Chains A and B, each alone.
Chain A
Amino acid sequence: MDEILAVKDLKTWFPIKSGILQRTVGHVKAVDGVNFSVDQGETFGLVGESGSGKTTVARSILRLVEPTGGDVFFEGVNVAKAKKRDLLKLRHRMQIIFQDPYASLDPRQTVNSMLSEAMRVHGMAANRREARGKALQLLEVVGLSEEHLYRFPHEFSGGQRQRIAVARVLAVNPEFIVLDEPTSFLDVSVQAQILNLLKDLQKNLNLTYLFITHNLAVVHHMSDRVGVMYLGILVEVAAKNEIYDAPRHPYTFHLMAAIPVPDPEVQKKEVLLPGDVPSPVNVPSGCRFHPRCPYMTERCKREVPPLFERTKGHFTACHYAIDFKSGVREYEIDYGVAAVKG
């Protein structure tokens, strides 16, 4: 499959200002060197706990926040270095759907005016009549009808608003859509409707998704490949089943073990991760996960493990191969030899 998006060593730091002169005294390293790529037509899931930087990755890709360093190639064009006026041309091809449909829709615009505005900005419709016709089609696509066209956002429920947000994004014919927690404001019965809608659209319109969520069950349902973030970096990237069934990074393993399973018959072995996520202002030395890791060694405190492809398509940032069943560190990863091979 063709690569549609390649993120190379992306860094987004937010300065911390202090004092009367507002001097920069430090940085919140929200995203600190992230590498991954997304193939045409797939769903790449980005998971992590709050503060891990997954939303900042999404916004940096779209240049909704300015990345501090690194490159983002969208079909060969470097978005991170593109000039402002060239961005508009890129933006209709890459769109985003936000978490909160109560905040992302203008309360004073009707559905028709919202959809038409999106089309007008990107030159998708020649005149008002054409825009209205297209808007009608879009409403049908997302499961709404003509009667909804002249209504305002407050007249809709959360699920319907999210459908409108989807329609607005589709209005500009995007190829790539970032879904930033699109269902976390919705009830489960409505969540299922939206997830099904998104899956149908992907199939029918050949869309590529970057799906961001803290809900590990939802990302499992939606994604083909999954990247796990911890404190601003990716610790593991692999196909969905490998991540969930055979995780290699200790953090991924504990994250997966913590997912509550809606089935009391499933006998889960309880493995609790101690402590909390550290602050991204003072990231731990070496491997960022070492203060919470049960398999930590002296090497982990010193050396940063690279995101290393141990088997095809399965990247892990950990110095060791660990057997989580027995809890033994089996062997150290030798980056050198494999790197020569690669």
Chain B
Amino acid sequence: MNQKDLVLEVNDLRLDFNTYRGAVKALNSVSFKLYKQEILSLVGESGCGKSVTALTIINLLPENAQVIGGEILFKRENLLKKSTEDLRLMRAGEFATVFQDPMTFLNPVLTIGTQLEEAFMIETKPLKAAVIAQKSEGKNNISYSDFLAMKGKEDAILSKESQVSGRETKKMAKNLCVDVLRLVKLPDPERILRQYPFELSGGMRQRAMIAMALARRPSLFIADEITTALDVTIQAQILHLMRELRDTIDASTLMITHDLAVAAEIADRIAVMYAGNVVELADTREVFRKPLHPYTQLLMKAIPNVAAPVERLESMPGMVPDLINPPPGCRFHPRCPYAMDICPTKFPETTEPFKEHEVACYLY
């Protein structure tokens, strides 16, 4: 990872869910940085807080969630201090999220075309700018990549002259719909636009969701378990698409997955989470070559690997702790083979024993 622009910085984020059984201490201390055009993967088992972290960033938490502390800096502005309306605008303009099960997020009674067009039409200013640019440059068609390049320049373009009819805007949106579907490799885009979600397969639906996310020209792309509901051959297609998009569009991706193998295939860097903490964070190759945290080490030995088969998997004793009464100190210590006297007393500080390889463990 080179010194690129910092897009997102999460510092010591702490969050509780208030339930009738007591407070679920879902996030204990989550910190990471996300740079421009990189894919950072949050990896961990269920309940480790990876999805909650994503939902906190885009402010889609349920009502019983309460942020206890920390900050989320997006382009140097603290999102936690912003008003709901500001955040709504940011969700519309800067963030895009794709979730695990596309069927739950697509409207079953509207065509893909209607839904995709709506994503473009949320804000008409960029579309109007595109119409003017098309006229002034005498082009037949504005492609999605032209549209991407126009980001941030709308006001300059619009100030020249501003007579664009609603019909022209709509036509532009339709054009872009076709082009963005082509970008996500959906065959025969014109036909897909007329189809309903149930007519598409799981992989195609997920592509349509990605297209809708792209319509907003996001700077931050959050992919929450996007391949979990898909078959392996389709998963390979979607991962391939995500890698291509990283190079073509100008976004940073926060990829949430429970599958270390998927993270290994796609991420530039990996943050391993356990029970509400980021326990290790480093370059993908580094994490796999030299896992430092005992949890990461055990996790890697627990997954069967076709490329390096073993007779017996090494399994971790016990299970993920109940976060209403999490273990004191380091939350992993009851399952840790290297647990020391100090572990239950206080949560270990994150250190950087190797360059750009962070770990939260008393061993280092």
Contact = CB atoms under 8 A, between A and B. Distances in A.
Interface stretch (B59-67, B139-147, B232-240): B232-240
Contacts of B299: 188-189
Interface of A: 49-50, 157, 159, 187-193, 195-196, 199, 214, 216-218, 220-221, 244, 254-266, 270, 272-273, 276-277
Contacts, number: 125
A262 B312 contact: no
Given A216-B232, A217-B261, A261 B305 contact: yes
Nearest to A262: B261
B315 A196 contact: yes
Interface string B306-338: 111110111110011000000000000000000
Contacts of A49: 231-234
B305 A262 contact: yes
13 contacts: A159-B319, A189-B316, A216-B306, A217-B306, A218-B304, A260-B262, A261-B305, A262-B264, A263-B305, A265-B285, A265-B289, A273-B233, A273-B237
Contact of A188 (B45, B232, B307): B45
Nearest to A251: B233
A261 B303 CA distance: 10
B177 interface: no
B300 interface: yes
Interface of B: 45-46, 201, 203-204, 231-237, 239-240, 258-262, 264-265, 284-285, 288-289, 298-310, 312-316, 319-320
Contacts of A192: 301-303, 313-316
- List the 3 closest A-B pairs by CB distance, nearest first: A221-B304, A260-B261, A49-B231
Contacts of A261: 261, 264-265, 305-307
A327 B303 CA distance: 32
B305 A187 contact: no
A244 B306 contact: yes
Given A261-B307, A265-B288, A276 B203 contact: yes
Contacts of B264: 260-264
Contacts of B201: 276-277
A150 to B, nearest CB: 21
B151 to A, nearest CB: 30
A258 B227 CA distance: 13
Q: Which of A159, A191, A255, A262 has the most CB of B within 10 A?
A: A262
A264 B302 contact: no
Given A187-B45, A192-B314, A263 B233 contact: no
Nearest to B286: A264
A239 B309 CA distance: 15
Contacts of B233: 49, 254-255, 258, 272-273
Given A189-B299, A216-B306, A262-B288, 10 more contacts: A192-B302, A193-B316, A217-B303, A217-B304, A220-B306, A259-B261, A260-B235, A260-B236, A261-B264, A273-B233
Contact of A266 (B237, B258, B304, B307): B307
Contacts of B303: 188, 191-192, 217, 262
Given A258-B236, A273-B233, A264 B306 contact: no
B283 to A, nearest CB: 9
A31 B67 CA distance: 52
A190 B319 contact: yes
Contacts of B312: 196, 199
B316 A214 contact: no
Contacts of A265: 285, 288-289
A270 B242 CA distance: 14
Nearest to B48: A187
Contacts of B285: 264-265
Contacts of B234: 49, 276
Contact of B284 (A193, A216, A254, A264): A264
A159 B240 CA distance: 33
Nearest to A276: B201
A157 B319 contact: yes
